[in-house]
Amino acid sequence: MARLLLGVSGGIAAYKALEAARLAVKRGHAVRVIQTRASERFVGRASFEAITGAPVLRSEFEPDPARGAYPGEPVPERVPISHLALVDRAHVLLIAPATANTLAKLAHGQADNLLSAAALAAGCPVVVAPAMNSRMYTHPATVANLEVLRARGVMVVPPGEGDLASYSEHGIGRLAEPEQLLEACESLLTPHPLGGARVLVTAGGTREPIDSVRFLGNRSSGRMGFALAREAVRRGAEVVAITAHVTLEPPVMVRLKRVQTAAELAGACRRELAHCDVLLMSAAVADFRPLGPVDGKLKKDEGVPQLELEPTEDVLSQIAELRRPDQVIVGFAAEYGPDAVSLGRGKLERKRLDAIVINDISRAGIGFESEDNEVTILAADGTERHVPQSRKDEVARAVLDEVERLRELRVGLDGARADTRSPARI
């Protein structure tokens, strides 16, 4: 549980800040809110007060009835000396939505309302989530302001693309979803054992074209890969995800590279390999592809096509040749039946991996298209860990625990634990 200070500036997306506050309270955080005057035109303070159970502040000159206390804390006997008591005691400051105006103030160190003053005084990590019209978001002034903030260590949760508030406008500028905002804040609150590490995750299932409309695919949803990416971010890693076909919203703070086929995935892995310290190869990569896919659409009056298949390249096996000794490479194996673990062990050795995560796909309710998984993690040094059926987030934690252990073995305790993040300053 953390003390989360939520700053709400004036945009229509302020209603989503209500949901973010509700979610934060539900997850056990103590939330206080500072609103700008403009934000009150969109959402009234009574709504935030009802959700957080604490008074909302707006002005530097307004006394705080809770005297700087967060929900669940006793109200101090004395009035705090500074109007900055709330930010002094915050574990994280989240500004959502952050309007173009508020971002400009933060970038230039203005302090003309309680929110911008609190941001300037923040000693805790700061997260900003821009939301505005796409032309304002892409204006060079806003782009430059965000760059300035990023360079100072502020975490920027980028807006999404889609329908905007203004009638019939479509573009980039929608506030990130409340779940993503919380994810970003929580990633800054947990210790960062993977701080400074670069983690490459592959996720989803590849699709191999038969013709321009049909393909050979598989049932992977990408859920396991995204859970791994999210957990790596939470532990402080810089994460790149190479995603084949996925059916889910990607995690925030992850650089995405989208691919379709096994060949594209192989190319993307080769390009990224040199830049990563850890590879988590959870994508379901096709082993075969149709030989000579047809441009256009196969017609049924031309008869049933005879599909000839050819093998794809085995990405992991090739990586064994290219890898640096300090890199940690983890494979995944979906095996069928009671021999799953021994089949997986064979792949661990053949593909010269540091570890392999094996699940038995003959079991109902786990693995493909499911929220849950049950796995055995085998490491090349002989350790074996069974993770009983649990949500994929839980399995991801176990896999990342193993990655941390392997990194300590490969690069030594000091190197593996180097947390290069410094606290953000506005």
Residues identified as active-site: 218
For ligand CTP, which is the closer residue by CB, 115 or 396? Answer: 396
Task: Work out the number of other CB atoms within 10 angstroms of the CB of residue 337.
Answer: 10
- 264 sits in the region (left: phi over 0; alpha: psi -120 to 50; else beta) called alpha
Q: Which region among 12-20, 36-44, 129-137, 307-315 touches ligand CTP (by CB under 6 A)? A: 307-315
Residue 298 or 361: the one with the smaller Cβ distance to ligand CTP is: 361
Q: What angle do CA 11, 12, 18 make, to 5 degrees?
A: 95
Ranked by CB distance to ligand CTP, the top (closest) residue is 315
At closest approach, how far in Å is the CB of 90 from ligand CTP?
41
Residue among 194 and 262 whose Cβ is closer to ligand CTP: 262
Rounded least distance, CB 343 to ligand CTP, Å: 7
CB of 256 to ligand CTP, least distance (A): 18
Chain centroid to CA 249: 10
Residue with tokens 């309302």: 113
Alpha carbon distance 413, 418 (integer Å): 9
Among 315, 355, 396, 399, binds ligand CTP (CB under 6 A): 315
CA 60 to chain centre: 35
Give me the least distance between CB of 345 and ligand CTP, in Å please.
Answer: 12
* Interaction residues for ligand CTP, span 346-365 (CB under 6 A): 347
Nearest CA to 379 out of 411, 415, 412, 404 is that of 404
Look up residue 241 and give its two tokens: 């995800």
Closer Cβ to ligand CTP, 244 or 416, answer by number:
244
Half-sphere exposure of 77 (CA within 13 A, CB side): 0
Residue 10 vs 367, nearer CB to ligand CTP: 367
Instruction: For 157-296, list the strands marked E by DSSP.
Output: 160-163, 170-174, 198-203, 208-209, 215-216, 238-243, 254-258, 278-281, 288-290
User: 94 or 353, CB closer to ligand CTP?
Assistant: 353
Closer residue to ligand CTP in complex, CB, 3/347: 347
**Region 222-241 residues binding ligand CTP, contact defined as CB under 6 A:** none
Residue 135 CB, nearest distance to ligand CTP (Å)? Answer: 42
Number of residues that bind ligand CTP (CB under 6 A): 14
Q: Could you give the C-alpha distances from 328 to 70, 114, 125, 339, in angstroms and in order?
A: 42, 47, 29, 26
316 binds ligand CTP (CB under 6 A): yes
Q: How far is the CB of 344 from ligand CTP (least distance, A)?
A: 8
CB of 417 to ligand CTP, least distance (A): 27
Is the CA virtual torsion 189, 192, 195, 198 positive or negative?
A: negative
Q: Which two tokens stand for residue 31?
A: 């939330």
Site residues for ligand CTP, 240-299, by CB under 6 A, read 262, 281, 283, 285, 287
What residues from 319 to 348 belong to the interface with ligand CTP (CB under 6 A)?
331-334, 347
Compute the C-alpha angle 12/16/21, nearest 5°: 135
The letter for the amino acid at 21 is: A
Rounded CA gap, 199 and 201, in Å? 6
Residues 6+ apart with CB under 8 A from 350: 317
Phi, psi dihedrals of residue 347, rounded to the nearest 5°: -70, -35
Stretch that binds ligand CTP, among 22-30, 116-124, 237-245, 310-318 (CB under 6 A): 310-318
**Is there a contact between 13 and 40 (Cβ–Cβ < 8 Å)?**
no
Residues that bind ligand CTP (CB under 6 A): 262, 281, 283, 285, 287, 312, 314-316, 331-334, 347
